[in-house]
Structure 1
Amino acid sequence: IEWGNHDVLWMGAALGSRACIASVVRNCLRYDNTDVLERGYGISLRALVTFAQHLYPDKAPIQAAEKAITIMLFKEEGRLIERNPDLQMESRRLLHHIDFRGACAVLPGGRYELRKAYFPTIDENTDDPYQLTEEEDAILYDLCISFTESPALHRHVDFLYRKGSLYLTCNGNLLFHGCVPMNADGTFRAITYGGKTYAGRSWLDFCDRMARAAYLHREPAALDFLYFLWCGRLSPLSGREVKTFERTFLEDRTTWEEPADPYYRLLDDEEMCENVLKEFGLAPKRGHIINGHVPVKVKKGETPVKANGRAIVIDGGFCKAYHSKTGISGFTLLSNSRGLRLLAHQKIADVRTALAENGDIESVSETVELVSIHTTVGDTDQGREMQEEITDLYNLLLAYQNGVLKPQA
């Protein structure tokens, strides 16, 4: 399993990162997915909903809870960013840029009108808008206990850590979720963290180590790093500047645009893809980059196959929220002895409709790559490991037969 940004967010929440917990709860409330928390993992939202209804009595309970947890998220996020300058996320720390009396936010691009200027849990006269109220702190404390003590959640997160990684090289292919951070000219971006500089593969290796350090040792910096992996501009699992604050509070939609890493723009460049494959020790002319993260807008004519087949983006937006953008329900890439085949899944309305009409997800098949000679087990990574073991055993047998090694009683 190659971790995506949503995976590491849940991993961070299960390990006790309060910023990750606030984001998970907000996402579940926003996308009507609270059953996963309450029924699936036994995490109650009652205290949050009760608190939110007092703050926003004119809102429906779920909407009120989303507004309340959003403010808690921005407070936790702001404190996390302040104590981790190496994450380079200062542009996401924005609560102190709100002009409460003027009902606007003063950002580098100018003054922008707020949708609403009602912030009942922020003291307008304080110098620290990131300070949690006693009630907010108590709610996050209880949620943190619920997340860290949920047996079902930890079974799933343990599985993700045992079977997962930030990237994988497999049979000549490179699999990862998001991007390899780059400069505009296609060179690997140098990123400094903790006094050391990383670029390309070394940055992804370091990110993988930090994610595991959070799991093994619960190091505060590593827990904060999981939140960075979820939404950081330099995160290989995100690679874009997430504008949650602007999309939540500001009317001006021009502020909603989320600048992305040059990697996504350069993905159609065959030379760039070959350089990435070489960086990870793979054959540039035969290997493939296989990644997701960015839904392919099929209905606008986009194709998942990039750079003459050197890259394949298999995120077609299986999530229902993306169906209107993509026009389909995602892709599945199949690899067999004859090559690569891509399945594009067509949309279905919902589970009830599919059952009532005896329907299923229909798939349109497309051959991406066809080999002239069947691939055998010996041509795969696993086959090469088996051959090495066979060779070792054969050499051991010869050593005994020739008297180099003497049998022991």
Structure 2
Amino acid sequence: MKPYNQITAEIIQEDMRYLELLSHSFPTIAAASTEIINLEAILNLPKGTEHFLADLHGEYEAFQHVLRNASGAIKRKVNEIFGNTLREAEKKELCTLIYYPEQKLQLVKETENELEDWYVITLNQLVKVCQNVSSKYTRSKVRKALPEEFSYIIQELLHESSMDPNKQAYINVIISTIIDTHRADDFIVALCNLIQRLTIDTLHILGDIFDRGPGPHIIMDTLCDYHNFDIQWGNHDILWMGAASGNDCSIANVLRLAMRYGNLSVLEDGYGINLLPLATFAMETYANDPCTLFGPRIDEATNTDNQKTIRLIAQMHKAISIIQFKLEAGIIRRRPEFEMEGRMLLHRIDFDKHTVRIDGKEYPLRDTFFPTVDPKDPYRLSAEEQDIVQKLHNSFVGSEKLRKHMKCLFRYGCMYNVCNSNLLFHASMPLNADGTLKEIEILGKKYKGQSLLKRVGQLIRTAYFDENDSPEKAFALDYMWYLWCGKDSPAFDKDKMATFERYFVSDKETHVETKGYYYQLRDREDICDMILDEFGVEGEHRHIINGHVPVKAVKGEKPIKANGKLMVIDGGFSKAYQPETGIAGYTLVYHSRGFQLVQHEPFTSTQRAIEEGLDIKSTTQIVEMSAKRMMVKDTDKGKELEVQIEDLKKLLAGYRTGLIKEKAD
């Protein structure tokens, strides 16, 4: 940064047009000076805490709890503040109150005999926690986070020291007045929400919000109202984005996955998708078919559906699966460059022998009832199927709630992000066998590495936003489906998605989906360094952070790879993965002193968390700690602020030399 006394008239003249514009925001010497002082002060605050989550897969209760407890950061703060002055049970009660203030207050009021004393003690405790979590922010930033109705009172409490006897009396009067005016409940809720908000400065979601779990729409509602976050799109997110764009193959896949996991409520209640035409068709077409291979994967302990409903879901599941295979053939034929002919298997069925030929080998079929498949033209949709596809298309494209969530995904999302020396992307970076970046051809041009992810991001936006019926728009719509399951998709990167085989063929050799070279080579530090260089990621401690592939902790697999250069934080939020992984997910916390990886046990329920104070059992592993505390000036935001300070110093010099005139108030 250039010292103030080295800013010459020539330097000011070079930037005169910009400085004149800047002078409208800071019209006087006093205004510019004040802003410089403010920004310099911000640079010397500790960096805000970043929270990384991946592969949420609709598990909204676990997601919301991890968000509320900041992966254990709030519990850690409470332990630091109160140490041995509170019993463990009291600290647990305080943490539960901070996580779920409205619900916990209701329980306390039902059981607490000395409610006024409890209010006094609790409010004092919450003020201490709030003072601690707000200490790394400017007063201005804290003020913007405050609820309007309590803004003044909270500011007074946060910035007064209880060590001064006079100030303690002042604080006591404020607290007693809050109680006397019957505002204690509202004030406690406001403080708890503020603590949650200030504990995490930035939230990074590394993809796969949708599918499998029961509440992706609830997660999206939470995110749309969150104060500061970004999303790196995963293949399941892109699938839903394709469905919202009107890609019928994506719509069919979304429906199939919802049936597979018994999550019809996500479609019907969450997004208002009309499933009646599909249900009617399925009941009639598969009335005499047990559809045993298509029963939903549901938790018997918590499932409330009766056998009739489960059978209907199985029928709908089979109906949409066959429709999906037919629709996908249309794109595969239309786009030979996708090289996915091997995914067209309906015409390889021998309907007399009840077998299917895959990669030159014949396999017996587990299910041989295909009433809607014409052996002479197996990929032709029947009239009823065409009608269903059109109605589902209209339902997805016309869903207001889905449109709102897509707007949020596009506004805050992208294929990758570089933030504070960390490269974030969901799944993969296509590589060759020798570890070099793989060139992928898209519409006649080749892309690799960063240029590939940028081009993919452009196509996703084209598919959703472009209203012209251009060739690029048509290609982009088809490519949305390819990103879900194509072998060179950076969001997938496997040789195939063996959907048909898993349903219809018993031989598990046909189920194998071979991962791309990235998954084989990402343990190597030199490969990670090459990728980081490709994206221009700098810094002494730089990392790639991924999700997508569950870490099999139960088999001893580690989430930290490549000598600490790569962190994989999909440990299995989805309940469907937990038997395979042995845990319920990893999250990552990056605060001013370094990285902490948090391994979570399965979450029981929100109700037990509130009633019993049953937090997620988590194990914290220190990944990387810094000897020197990281300040705002060491971050990307700090670099931006330094540029702003440099410009303000030029403006100040312009005012003082008379090259720029101060403006009247």
Q: TM-score normalised by the shorter chain: which range applies?
A: over 0.9
Match of 2:477 in 1: 223
Match of 2:561 in 1: 306
Q: Which runs of 5+ in 1 are unaligned?
A: none
Q: How far apart, CA to CA, are the structure 2 residues paired with 1:393 and 1:350?
A: 52
| CA contact 2:596–2:622 (8 Å) conserved in 1 | yes
Q: How far apart, CA to CA, are the structure 2 residues paired with 1:130 and 1:361?
A: 48
| CA contact 1:287–1:310 (8 Å) conserved in 2 | yes
CA deviation profile, 1:331-373 (whole Å, cap 9, x unmatched)? 1100110010011110135556666765332211111000110
Match of 1:124 in 2: 375
Q: TM-score, normalised by structure 1?
A: 0.96
Q: How many Å apart are 1:94 and its aligned residue?
A: 2.1
Please say if 1:56 is aligned against 2:286: yes
Please say if 1:178 is aligned against 2:433: no
Task: Determine helix, strand or coil for the equivalent of 2:423.
Answer: strand
Q: How far apart, CA to CA, are the structure 2 residues paired with 1:30 and 1:122?
A: 21
Q: Of the candidates 442, 454, 457, which is equivalent to residue 208 of structure 1? A: 457
Please say if 1:74 is aligned against 2:74: no
Between structures 1 and 2, the one with greater helix share:
2
Q: How far apart, CA to CA, are the structure 1 residues paired with 2:610 and 2:343?
A: 44
Larger Rg: 2
Match of 2:493 in 1: 239
Task: Determine helix, strand or coil for the equivalent of 2:269.
Answer: helix
CA deviation profile, 1:239-266 (whole Å, cap 9, x unmatched)? 1121111111112111000011110111
Q: How far apart, CA to CA, are the structure 2 residues paired with 1:253 and 1:352?
A: 40
| CA contact 1:278–1:284 (8 Å) conserved in 2 | no
Q: How far apart, CA to CA, are the structure 1 residues paired with 2:637 and 2:482?
A: 34
Q: How far apart, CA to CA, are the structure 2 residues paired with 1:250 and 1:110?
A: 12
Q: Of the candidates 272, 278, 292, which is equivalent to residue 42 of structure 1? A: 272
Q: How far apart, CA to CA, are the structure 2 residues paired with 1:353 and 1:374?
A: 37
Q: How far apart, CA to CA, are the structure 2 residues paired with 1:306 and 1:284?
A: 18
Q: How does 1:292-303 map to 2 (within 5 A)?
A: 292-303=547-558
Task: Determine helix, strand or coil for the equivalent of 2:628.
Answer: coil
| CA contact 1:270–1:307 (8 Å) conserved in 2 | yes
| CA contact 1:171–1:381 (8 Å) conserved in 2 | yes
Q: How far apart, CA to CA, are the structure 2 residues paired with 1:352 and 1:62?
A: 29
| CA contact 1:52–1:65 (8 Å) conserved in 2 | yes
Q: TM-score, normalised by structure 2?
A: 0.59
Q: How many Å apart are 1:405 and its aligned residue?
A: 4.0
Q: Which runs of 5+ in 2 are unaligned?
A: 1-230, 291-310, 468-472
Amino acid at match of 1:304: P
Match of 1:189 in 2: 438
Match of 1:138 in 2: 387
Amino acid at match of 1:81: I
Q: How many Å apart are 1:140 and its aligned residue?
A: 1.0
Please say if 1:102 is aligned against 2:364: no
Q: How many Å apart are 1:382 and its aligned residue?
A: 1.1
Task: Determine helix, strand or coil for the equivalent of 1:321.
Answer: coil
Q: How far apart, CA to CA, are the structure 1 residues paired with 2:363 and 2:430?
A: 31
Q: Of the candidates 12, 15, 21, which is equivalent to residue 251 of structure 2? A: 21
CA deviation profile, 1:90-142 (whole Å, cap 9, x unmatched)? 2222222222222111122411111122111111123xx21111101111111
Q: Of the candidates 346, 359, 374, which is equivalent to residue 614 of structure 2? A: 359
Q: How far apart, CA to CA, are the structure 1 residues paired with 2:456 and 2:278?
A: 33
Amino acid at match of 1:381: D
Q: How many Å apart are 1:226 and its aligned residue?
A: 1.2
| CA contact 2:421–2:539 (8 Å) conserved in 1 | no
Task: Determine helix, strand or coil for the equivalent of 2:380.
Answer: coil
Q: How far apart, CA to CA, are the structure 2 residues paired with 1:199 and 1:88?
A: 18
| CA contact 1:274–1:285 (8 Å) conserved in 2 | no
Q: Of the candidates 609, 622, 631, which is equivalent to residue 376 of structure 1? A: 631
Amino acid at match of 2:478: D
| Paired positions, count | 407
Q: How many Å apart are 1:88 and its aligned residue?
A: 2.8
Q: How far apart, CA to CA, are the structure 2 residues paired with 1:284 and 1:265?
A: 25
Q: How far apart, CA to CA, are the structure 2 residues paired with 1:95 and 1:110?
A: 15
CA deviation profile, 1:50-88 (whole Å, cap 9, x unmatched)? 111112123311001000000111111111121122223
CA deviation profile, 1:293-330 (whole Å, cap 9, x unmatched)? 00000010011100110000000010010000001110
CA deviation profile, 1:137-168 (whole Å, cap 9, x unmatched)? 11111111111111111111110000000000
Amino acid at match of 2:414: S
Q: Of the candidates 241, 247, 251, which is equivalent to residue 11 of structure 1? A: 241
Higher RCO (C-alpha under 8 Å, 6+ residues apart):
2
Residues 360 and 47 (structure 1), Cα distance of their counterparts in 2 relative to 1, 3 Å cut = farther
Q: How far apart, CA to CA, are the structure 1 residues paired with 2:627 and 2:548?
A: 32
Task: Determine helix, strand or coil for the equivalent of 1:36.
Answer: helix
Identity, % of aligned positions: 46
Task: Determine helix, strand or coil for the equivalent of 2:461.
Answer: helix
Q: How many Å apart are 1:401 and its aligned residue?
A: 2.4
Task: Determine helix, strand or coil for the equivalent of 1:138.
Answer: helix
